Chains A and B, each alone.
Chain A
Amino acid sequence: MILDFASGLSYLWALLPEVVLSLWAMLVLLVDVFQKGERSEASRPIVTWLTLIGIVGAAAANAWLLTLEETTPTGMIALDEFRVFANFLFLLAGALFVLISTRYLEQEHLRLGELYALVLLATVGMMLFAGSRDLIVIFLALELMSVAVYVLTGVNRRDRRSAEAALKYFLLGAFSSAFFLFGVALLYGGAGTVNLALLARSIGVDGLGANALIVAGMALLAVGFGFKVAAVPFHMWTPDAYEGAPAPITGFMAAAVKAAAFAAFLRVFLTAFPGLYERWDDLVIWLAALTMVAANLVAVVQGNVKRMLAYSSVAHAGYLLVALAAASSLGAASYLFYLVVYTLMTIGAFAVVFVVGRRGEERLDLDAYSGLGWERPLLGVVMTIFLLSLAGFPLTGGFIGKVFILQAAVAKGLVKLAVVLVLTSLVSYWYYLRVAWYMWFREAPTPEAAAGVVASPSLRFALVMAAALVILLGVFPGQLLELAERSAAALAQAPSPFLGAGGN
């Protein structure tokens, strides 16, 4: 089907996955309320299943998007493989999160069916965030995603840390959104458009590249994205928010939210600002280097595993910024591949953290992991896989992802940045493997220490699936690599400012 976006109906088709998921979120909320009625009890498993069905439905609609074609590359909603790829990633993250969070609600004795609706809405926000070509829609999507995640962060109202983290995250998030919005305003003032493709044309063809409004607007967008992806020095909120939020939600924030922000970052800068590459390349390179070095060094001295993983997610933002700095279709492809691996291993690692933390997440220190491998072999094995992959050990997806990013960086001539990546990821081995060391080489302090560390079947399924995919992507990454390359090509072929944009 060819969509010309002349009628509103075209938009409805182009937004089908988002529409399905939004409606489904309402349905889940209603079902949850009605099945509970007056009683205050936990949601029945049917709500979980319903949510998963909604995600699968949205995934089917997403796959159907591939059959669509657009007549113009300036539509408000992009119909390209990049969007489809990113959407699948967010849906996968959402599904993993749902599987994990049922156990979380059970463990904390929470009765919060709305959690599922919130996840679906956050996912809709992510999909729009990464899929839109209009800065106003991108901003709306950013807010839709963020508001849902703010609420998720504070979902455990009885936990003070959770509430504090939510408030901090909300205030700072609002603050950075203002930067973003101001950047959009400046860009509109400079170029008279908020459409990414048209922006690129006004920079490339109309020669507005030197316009201070446009450059300043771009810089403020970079601040907004920098905040969302937690690049140093905009990362300050991360350790607090990540440590305070319930671990499954931290995993979701660190993986999916960040992946969405990165995907949008990539789309905006590669579609709208390729003509200004000389202006922003140094900046991204410095952000990347600073993020990698600072986050990895600070993570080394953390004794709290959750906080260590928070810094580790900052460090990974640095690796992904390297791919952005490469600003090529190869870079974009490596970026997509790494996002997939990163999502799997991060959600998985945080899921293990919350299971080990037990009720109230009191056991977050390294000592809580002593002897875990022998007491709970499954948790030990999957956690080891996630940690090795985070460190970039060969035969895991993390290794392939890093090699891919390195290759993109080297192809662009960023050899120094590549060396910084290698060096800092070698440092990261230290703090990742220290956890593994505790799990396998320390005795559990008491035989009962692991009591209460219980993984439900759905959680086990999610963990095993994530770990198996991480290994699979390390040994047979070919298919996904090709898919990522094809999807990224779609983005890089999108209206080039100098050649293809004159058509409409």
Chain B
Amino acid sequence: MEHAGFRPVLLGLIVLLPLAGFVINGAVALLAPARKRIVTWAGPGVLALAFALALVNFFGMLGVELEQAIVRDYWSWMPVGNLEVAAALQLDQLSMLMTLIVTGVSFVIHVYSVGYMGDDPGYARYFAYLNLFVFFMLVLVLGANFPVMFVGWEGVGLCSYLLIGFWFRDREKADAGKKAFIVNRIGDLGFMVAMLLLFTNLGSLDFEEVFRAAPATLAYGGALVTTITLFLFLGATGKSAQIPLYIWLPDAMAGPTPVSALIHAATMVTAGVYMVARTGVLFALAPVSMIVVAGIGALTALFAATIGLAQYDIKKVLAYSTVSQLGYMFLAVGVGAFGTGMFHLMTHAFFKALLFRGSGAVIHAVHGAFHHTHKEWDPQDMRNMGGLRHYLPLTWIVMWIGTLAISGVWPFAGFFSKDEIIWQAAARAVGPFAPWFTAFWAMAIAAAVLTAFYMTRLMIMTFHGEIRCGAAECTHLHEVPAVMSLPLVVLAGLSTVGGWVNMPHAIAELPVLGWLPSAEWIHAWLEPAVRPAEAILGPRLGALNEAAPLGGGEAFWAAVAFALAVVVIGVGSSVVLRWKYRPALESLEPVGLKKVLYRKWYVDEAYETLIVRPVVATSRALWRLVDEALIDNVLVNGAGYTSRAFGWAGSRLQTGQLNTYAFAVVLGALILLGFMLL
């Protein structure tokens, strides 16, 4: 299936370059950890090359009408019975876009890490993990069938686990890694079961084959396709931190900040959104699953935003904000607007990477200052900051750009993507499920308001007002070096103009806001990739709404959203400025609703009591039951004659256990005999 106009250039090499980086850096980490120069060049270098290759392919694809994905088979990976799984990569508009985001953002973050991790003794190890992560992420994105995607899916999970626990001396961080790991396993279970069901029913696991066969084989709205898609979505909720599996992501902030920016904001956590978009055909066949996806998305967006209101740890606020924004993306793909979801994924990658690295710069500076004066304060607690704009002017400016972008202020990137999601939810409120979508729309707007507020609170607490970190410390606050600030500026630029590539015509018609060039480029670009899914959705759902549930068209609500964001930021700033904060150690515990939010609705505690403890208890009980207590105490004492019969063994060994083992064999044999004969 070669396309006449376009041949992918060294597609395999894009994936292999980061792997080579992993091998080089891993060897350095094990054999000569002091040779940092090699790492400094090899780590970001392979990513630069991969990004360049991705760009070459992208420009090659630009002018070509590519109707079908280009699949490259490398070798037959699993020729098992009638299952033929090839080690194959697939390039289409969707995977191209993701590849650009992954390699581009990764490259910038690798450069930033050179500065951020420069003094860390685990420098080489860090870059080895980071390269390995990018390798698996690219496998996930470019895989041409479910098993190859699963390789990447598991791989990024493993790397995330490695990187969260990177500073392993810290017990809390080790625990955070484990938590992420277990929660992700639950998600992987969903992925595996969905794969099994797909294979049993469709006889193939290749994307192309599955999506071709699915509309004919699987009944629209049937139980089977609903089950498959719900299991897939379970996988997505694990990886992309949605209710009920979101709990690992905020704790994952224990890892180094660039890792939070790359893995836990820009790339890995969006894998679930990508997966839903990739399997859009299946989801389109299951309207109930679509409702679930959209509903969970909207609920997560709102729920996480409320928690973000009351956190004091700067990275925790951003973490919950990520969970919330991922909720928006799921809302988008859940209402069938796959292109819009991918658009928000892209803009979010820009502004969230920016915000995380801005917060990294802040933490870097505050930590350095506290370290200098041996002050034992938490450098991530915003109550210990305040007024930092005088010391970190550049960080201050770029963080405000990120804040405006995420809050949805025109003309920053987030405005266009988030506004479109809200609008799509409103437009989808037709047909039998209309009331549901109306509710999702309202939740999305409420979450947008909360987003603007908690981000404003973050900015004011960190950069404005009085300085709370102490006079002696202030003299040691330093702006970041060039190797870190340059990536910040680049991302700030992208966060500003990144949304312009996809501006709806409706906005172009607005009086003041409409002068920007209008282009629905992302939609046009992704159109061939999402066409099969839309071909199923279109006829079933009928025409979309022209007006929102409360009246007014797309342009009207865009203007309203913009106005809301501006008002919240303006009013919020003045309100928060007036609140008096004190350093963390002198502060009182929050009370009332604020405490509930600060404690994150007590979800962690609930999981601990309802799930974790019972499972551990069962394991221990089973161990005792199967291997120790049952046989000894119940059976042997209850059936004394057996004991005597085998007593000769016991008396010789003096363990008193052998006879019980033998007894178990006899018992098993009896059950087995009964089983077969009766």
Interface set of A (CB-CB < 8 Å, partner B): 164, 167-168, 171-172, 175-176, 179, 212, 215-216, 218-220, 222-223, 226-227, 232-234, 236-237, 239-240, 279-280, 282-283, 286, 294, 297-298, 300-301, 330, 333-334, 374, 377, 381, 393-395, 400, 403-404, 406-408, 410-411, 415, 418-419, 422-423, 426, 429-430, 433, 437, 440-443, 475-478, 481-482, 485
Contacts and interface: CB of A to CB of B under 8 A. Distances in A.
B592 interface: no
A168 B196 contact: no
B619 A298 contact: yes
B151 A395 contact: yes
Contacts of B669: 179, 219-220, 223
A468 to B, nearest CB: 15
B58 interface: no
A282 B674 CA distance: 13
Given A237-B661, A422-B193, A478-B77, A301 B620 contact: yes
Contacts of A297: 618-619, 622-623
Contact of B672 (A164, A223, A411, A441): A223
B581 interface: no
Nearest to B665: A234
Interface residues of B, number: 64
Contacts of B223: none
Interface stretch (B79-87, B287-295, B346-354, B455-463): B79-87
- Candidate in B147, B185, B193, B676 with the most chain A CB atoms within 10 angstroms: B676
Interface string B640-667: 0000000001000101011011101101
A443 B165 CA distance: 13
Contacts of A222: 672
The B contact surface, by secondary structure, is helix
A403 B665 contact: no
Given A219-B673, A301-B620, A476-B75, 17 more contacts: A171-B649, A176-B665, A216-B676, A216-B677, A223-B665, A223-B669, A236-B631, A236-B664, A237-B661, A239-B627, A294-B622, A297-B622, A300-B619, A301-B623, A406-B196, A422-B193, A481-B78
Contacts of B181: 429-430, 433
A236 to B, nearest CB: 4
A429 B80 CA distance: 24
Contacts of B177: 437, 441
Interface string B1-37: 0000000000000000000000000000011000000
B222 interface: no
Interface in B64-81: 75-81
Interface of B: 30-31, 75-83, 87, 147, 150-151, 154-155, 158, 161-162, 165, 168-169, 174, 177-178, 181-182, 185-186, 188-189, 192-193, 196, 199-200, 616, 618-620, 622-623, 626-627, 631, 649, 653, 655, 657-658, 660-662, 664-665, 667-669, 672-673, 675-677
Given A407-B80, A437-B174, A441-B168, A429 B185 contact: yes
Given A410-B196, A437-B165, A236 B79 contact: no
B672 A219 contact: yes
Nearest to A334: B80
B665 A481 contact: no
A233 B622 CA distance: 13
A48 to B, nearest CB: 30
Q: Which of B80, B155, B186, B626 has the most chain A CB atoms inside 10 A of its CB?
A: B80
A164 B151 contact: no
21 contacts: A164-B653, A216-B677, A219-B676, A220-B669, A226-B668, A227-B665, A236-B664, A282-B675, A283-B672, A298-B619, A298-B623, A301-B620, A330-B80, A400-B78, A403-B80, A410-B200, A423-B189, A426-B188, A440-B162, A478-B76, A478-B78
Given A393-B158, A433-B181, A223 B668 contact: yes
A222 B676 CA distance: 11
